[in-house]
Amino acid sequence: MEQKIKALQEQMEQKIGQIDTKEKLAEFWQEFLGKKGAIADLMKGLGAVAKEDRPAMGKVINEFKVLVEEKYQALSAKMDELELAARNRREQVDITLPGKGLPLGGLHPLTLVKNEMINVFASMGFDIFEGPEIEDDDHNFTRLNVPKDHPSRDMQDTFYLENELLLRTQTSGGQIRVMDMQKPPIKVLVPGRVFRSDSDATHSPMFHQMEGLVVDKGITLCDLQGMLDKFVQQIFDADVRTRLRPSYFPFTEPSVEVDVSCFECGGKGCSLCKHTGWIEVLGGGVVHPKVLENCGIDPNVYSGIAFGIGIERITMLKYGINNIGLLFENDMRFLKQFKE
């Protein structure tokens, strides 16, 4: 039995020196330490050993088993280290290489211009109010001096919903809501999306508008022009000026269209201003007394001015954009030009 154990030890030493893969290591375990392996056979052979010699022989077999297990565990640990080192080499990162950063986005040109416009009016003391996009007929039309049979409704060709609700055609309804909640003095700016059934190179069924309202004692059309002069000079150029032309809006009286002197040619005449030296930018006027009365404000004591600006209109003029559709197509080649 001792000779057999000695021969197995020599065989074990030889084989363990040849192991270079985990597959061969597993075969080594089965050959020596498995249920049908060499050490298991030695244990079965104890029955043929004399009774008085069995304890000593069992001890020898156990010592051999411990030796084989130690050899196996040491080689297994070494193989794990080699495998980890190889994986680390494969996954090694060169920290001297530049990083792969994610590209940063930027604000949409409409948002850039909207923020710039808000900053101008906020510096003049305007509060900001954003009303609901789904508005009722009363706030969107009737209380703005536009009854159901008024022809100006046809110009806005509205998207109606149910129960006298509609997608708002102007942010003026927000002005009515502010006058309901707050009594003069009032100085508020109402930006937001509006909806009309228009679609061509200069119009869209959805666009962005910013309306302003000032109500106090002694407010006149001169206040409107002075305020808009400051606005266009900060948005376009410090040398531009405004011009008021008579117009008509149901909710203002008198009403005006506001032109700005061409910032491209300095008023000399070019293709941008159609060789007139002036560009139409917005509309406004003195708040109609009927509108003030509809909001519980005495027109004999207070007066007001109101104006409405198309944010797309200002954006297209500011950046020389000739098609409103470009603002809604999400073309990255177009949008990346405005990244700050």
Give pLDDT, residue 200. 60
Tens-digit pLDDT profile for residues 168-224: 999 999 999 999 999 999 999 999 999 987 656 566 789 999 999 999 999 999 999
227 — pLDDT class (breaks 50, 70, 90):
very high
Find residue 213's DSSP bridge partners: 188, 306
Percent of all residues in the chain with a pLDDT value above 70, rounded to a whole number? 97
Q: Is the confidence at residue 54, as pLDDT, over 80?
A: no
Question: How big is the chain, counted in residues?
Answer: 340
Extended beta strands in the chain, E state: 127-128, 134-136, 165-167, 186-195, 206-216, 242-249, 252-261, 278-287, 303-310
**Sequence-separated (6 or more) residues with CB below 8 Å from residue 23:** none
Domain boundaries, the chain: 2-90, 109-338
Give pLDDT, residue 1. 64
The candidate with the shortest Cα–Cα distance to 259, out of 239, 245, 274, 276, is 245
Cβ proximity of 189 and 128 under 8 Å = yes
Q: Give the residue with greater pLDDT, 221 vs 30.
A: 221
Q: Which amino acid is at 133?
A: E
Tens-digit pLDDT profile for residues 265-298: 888 889 889 999 999 999 999 999 999 999 999 9
Work out the mean pLDDT of the chain and round it to a whole number.
88
CATH class of 109-338: alpha beta
User: Cis ω on the peptide bond leading into residue 109 (within 30° of 0)?
Assistant: no
334 — pLDDT class (breaks 50, 70, 90):
very high
In the Cβ-directed half-sphere of 142, how many Cα atoms lie within 13 Å?
9
Q: Is the confidence at residue 104, as pLDDT, over 80?
A: yes
Residue in the structure block whose two tokens are 């201003």: 273
**CB neighbourhood size of 94 (10 A):** 5
